[in-house]
Amino acid sequence: MSESSNKHGDFNRRLLASGPRLRAYIRPIIFDPSVADALMQDITSTAAKAFNSYDPKQPFDAWLMGVAHNCALLFLDNPRTRPKGIGRETLKQLEAISFQAAAQADVLQDALDHCLPKLTKTDGLLITQRFKKGATNETVARLQKVNAFTVSYALNRVFEKLLVAVNRPSRGQNDE
């Protein structure tokens, strides 16, 4: 496999992992989904061309958000593409909110990752079944041979447990 193919594959893997954060950055700026998709394509294309300048010792997300920021500024500076009421100052405010939300989401995801393995086998199976792609309470109920209300009630109980565990101040220190 050539070095170029390896770099291309590395870029695609990193981009795939960072995609949700990139979309979360773009969505507050661009409300129209088709325009947001166009900006996302522009960012992806620009990042792919600039990937040779990326230092693998640095966090890819931070580098990609820098590329996204520069693309967003160009987008907002163009009167033909700029959404009404959104300029550089609004972009700064939205970025601050977006980065703060992303940091909070990372902390919550880490806490959830810590708490999920501590669920009982039954609760873990319920969560696994429910969050498979395309699953609904009804499909899980059929699998477990119970009614959808029972599944809904059980999921609410598990979510309540997870919420308490994730918000527990002593999380990570001598957990039960």
Closest CA to 72 of 114, 117, 22, 33: 22
The span from the CA of 116 to the CA of 106, in Å, is 15
Closest CA to 153 of 165, 141, 171, 168: 141
Phi, psi of 49 (to 5 degrees): -70, -35
Find the mean pLDDT for residues 6-20: 84
**What is the number of H-type helices and E-type strands within the chain?**
7, 0
The span from the CA of 161 to the CA of 175, in Å, is 14
What is the per-residue pLDDT for 113?
A: 81
Whether residue 148 contacts residue 141, with contact meaning beta carbons closer than 8 Å, is answered with: yes
What is the per-residue pLDDT for 172?
A: 46
Please check the confidence at residue 73 and state whether its pLDDT lies above 70: yes
The span from the CA of 76 to the CA of 93, in Å, is 14
Under the banding of pLDDT at 50, 70 and 90, the label for residue 102 is low
Per-domain residue ranges for the chain? 1-106, 119-176
Pull the structure tokens for residue 102: 């992303």
What is the per-residue pLDDT for 2?
A: 55
Chain mean pLDDT for the chain: 82
Under the banding of pLDDT at 50, 70 and 90, the label for residue 51 is very high
What is the per-residue pLDDT for 175?
A: 46
Q: According to the per-residue pLDDT averaged within each range, which of 29-33, 35-39, 110-114, 123-127 is highest? A: 123-127
Please check the confidence at residue 28 and state whether its pLDDT lies above 70: yes
Better pLDDT: 153 or 78:
153
What is the per-residue pLDDT for 134?
A: 85
What is the per-residue pLDDT for 173?
A: 46
Find the mean pLDDT for residues 106-129: 85
DSSP-assigned letters across all residues of 98-122: HHHHHHHHHHHHHHHHHHGGGS-HH
Residue with structure tokens 């902390």?
Answer: 107
